[in-house]
Amino acid sequence: MSVQTQKNVMNVMVGEEFDSAAIAVASLQITDPTVTATYIEDGGVVALGLGAAGEVILPASATNTIANFPSIRLVQRIGNLLNFSPRIQGVDVLHFDGVDGVAGAEQVSIVGYNGTTGAIDNSGTDFVLTYVGLWDDMMWSKQQYRKAYDYYSTAATQQSIAKQLSFDINNDGYHMTLAGTGPQVSCTVLSDGTTQIAPSTAATIAVVNGSDVATLDVAQANLQAIGTVIRLGGAAATVAQPVYIVIGNSTTDSTLSSVQVRLHTYFQGATATLTLGTNADGITGSTNYGLRFVGLPLTWVKDFFKYKRVQFRIEIKGFGTTTVTTPTTMSMGRGDFRHVAEMESFAAGNEGALNRTIVPLPTGRQVTPTDGSIPLYDAIMIEWADRTKKSPISGSVPMQAQLFVYTPDSTNGARNSTRLLDQLNEWMVSAGQLAQTV
């Protein structure tokens, strides 16, 4: 189960995208669904204000103040149902924030050559590289996850070190996949070679993620020779792209066809047919090598496997002056659909969905797509101190409460959030808060 931190009460509303312009606030209504031209859109979230004339759609004008509307609440249409938030008194508002969605990032760490500078110091004989997983705060909360990989040679080269360790690490990840858990990182080799192998009679090379076999459209001896270094996945002269080393062809491996080669490790990029000379080619002139580690997406199932990203540390021993750099640190981002889905599910407990031990879990209200079709959301958050005392089972007064409104971080999703903020900003300013954008 995905447990969140909350104040006494937390509510979550998840808006949807509008295919056309949002209905103007002045025309909007929530009382007659038969008048489709003005009835709140499916997935729409709007504010209602309680004033002298009763509860109305909160206007988007200068009259929209807590003097005229002492309290508000939000309403969300989900299909044929309307979902209302708790009532918020203007004098009770503590915080009002708007946050633009920001995509997360996987960690990238590099040992040795990083695409610009650096090298693997191969002056030693025993090279030990240890991967330390830092992301798991459940199973490995008391003791770090550590996996060591060793390479020994009395005649080590930068290429041989990078070749063997990348194979060992990716092969280990492959067996994790077979076990059902999956690899935590990918490991590719970087090289500073830029001289393309010529002539290039073959036009394409096809690669498959997780396979160590690459297929040319026609046979080409100089690309299929044992030891050939092939850059795959980017411009041929771009040293930031990974390289793979040919270790087998149809002459040495009977399982390969005349146009295939076996790579030194499983291909870590996306399955594709790459154009030689453009985003793939054989290269020569490599002097410096490096190992690039990239965190891989973890298994996520709402309410079973929590949204996390891999965070790790690379430790090296016997590598002499070799450096480890981390050009990209792990970031969870803001408004990732997985986190929004978890927030929505957890907040349902404040509305009565408390039993989290039944399998399958009660579904309740679910608006956030869990397939990633809407990858990123903007967020509006309101926090207030509820001073009302409605029943003997209410929390202590004042009782802090939170309301989160998520809307897709897209042009169509902005139509939903922009209209809501047009309503809320004037009212919140009169309550002592700052106007917000997302």
Taking only the tens place, the pLDDT of each residue in 375-391 is 999 999 999 998 876 65
Give the list of residues 6+ apart from residue 54 with CB closer than 8 angstroms, or none. Answer: none
Asked if residue 273 belongs to a domain, the reply is yes
Question: Do residues 40 and 182 both lie within one domain?
Answer: no
Domain assignment present for 436: no
| CA dist 334 → 98, 338, 373, 407 (Å) | 11, 10, 16, 12
Segment 124-134 mean pLDDT: 97
- Position 355 scores a pLDDT of 67
The last residue of one of the domains, among 298, 328, 358, is: 328
CB-based contact 51:69 (threshold 8 Å): yes
| Residue 79 pLDDT class (50, 70, 90 cuts) | very high
Same domain, 199 and 291: yes
Ramachandran class of 118: left when φ > 0, alpha when ψ lies in -120 to 50, beta otherwise: left
Using the predicted structure, report yes or no on whether residue 147 has a pLDDT greater than 80.
yes
pLDDT band at 426 (very low <50, low <70, confident <90, very high): very high
Provide the token pair at 175: 């067996």
The pLDDT value recorded for residue 329 is 97
pLDDT at residue 72 tops 70: yes
Omega into 297 within 30° of 0, i.e. cis?
no
Q: Strand 399-408's sheet: what is its strand order?
A: 9-14, 399-408, 377-386, 93-99
Q: Cα dihedral angle (39, 41, 47, 53), rounded to 10 degrees?
A: 0
Q: What pLDDT sits at residue 179?
A: 78
CB 417 within 8 A of CB 54: no
In a domain, 49, yes or no: yes
- Residue 324 and residue 338 in one domain: no
Cα 138 from Cα 126, distance rounded (Å):
34
305 and 176 inside one domain: yes
- Of 328, 362, 394, the residue that ends a domain is 328
Can you tell me the distance from the alpha carbon of 328 to that of 430, in angstroms, rounded to the nearest whole number?
A: 42
Mean pLDDT check: name the lowest of 107-121, 152-166, 394-408. 394-408
**Looking at the structure, do residues 95 and 118 belong to the same domain, yes or no?**
no
Per the domain annotation, does 284 fall within a domain? yes
Give domain status of residue 435, yes or no: no
Under 8 Å between Cβ of 356 and 16: no
CA atoms of 99 and 82, how far apart (whole Å) = 25
Distances in Å between the Cα of 68 and the Cα atoms of 45, 74, 184, 232, 430 are 21, 17, 56, 65, 10
| 42 and 171 assigned to the same domain | no
Whether residues 123 and 263 share a domain: the answer is: yes
Is 260 a domain residue?
yes
Instruction: Decide the pairing of beta strands 9-14 and 399-408.
Output: parallel
Asked if residue 437 is part of any domain, the answer here is no
DSSP element (H, E) containing 379? strand 377-386
Query: By CB neighbour count within 10 A (0-12 exposed, 13-18 middle, 19+ buried), where does 208 fall?
Result: middle
The rounded mean pLDDT for the chain is 92
Alpha carbons 165 and 167: distance in angstroms, whole number: 5
Weakest mean pLDDT among 47-61, 193-207, 210-224: 193-207
Q: Which domain holds residue 143?
A: 108-328
Nearest of 389, 388, 378, 385 to residue 402 by alpha carbon: 385
Token reading at 147: 């996996």
In this structure, are residues 291 and 114 in contact, taking their beta carbons and an 8 Å threshold? no
Residue 53 phi, psi (nearest 5):
-90, 10
Cα separation of 236 and 143, whole Å?
Answer: 43
Q: How far is CA 24 from the centre of its chain?
A: 34
Within this chain, do residues 198 and 126 fall inside the same structural domain, yes or no?
yes
Decide the pairing of beta strands 145-152 and 229-232. unpaired
Q: How confident is the model at residue 309 (pLDDT cuts 50, 70, 90)?
A: very high
Cβ-contact 280, 205 below 8 angstroms = yes
> What are the tokens at 10?
């937390």
77 and 117 housed in the same domain: no
Q: pTM of this prediction?
A: 0.90
229 and 341 both lie in a single domain: no
Tracing tokens 């089972």 back to the chain, one arrives at: 393
Number of domains in the chain: 2
Of 225, 233, 107, 212, the closest CA to residue 166 belongs to 212
- Report yes or no on 3 lying in a domain: no
**By three-state DSSP, how is residue 120 classified?**
coil
Instruction: Mark which of 286, 303, 328 sits at the end of a domain.
Output: 328
pLDDT at 341 over 80: yes
Residue range 91-104: mean pLDDT, rounded: 97
Same domain, yes or no, for 343 and 311? no
Do 94 and 25 share a structural domain? yes
Torsion sign (Cα): 374, 376, 377, 383: positive
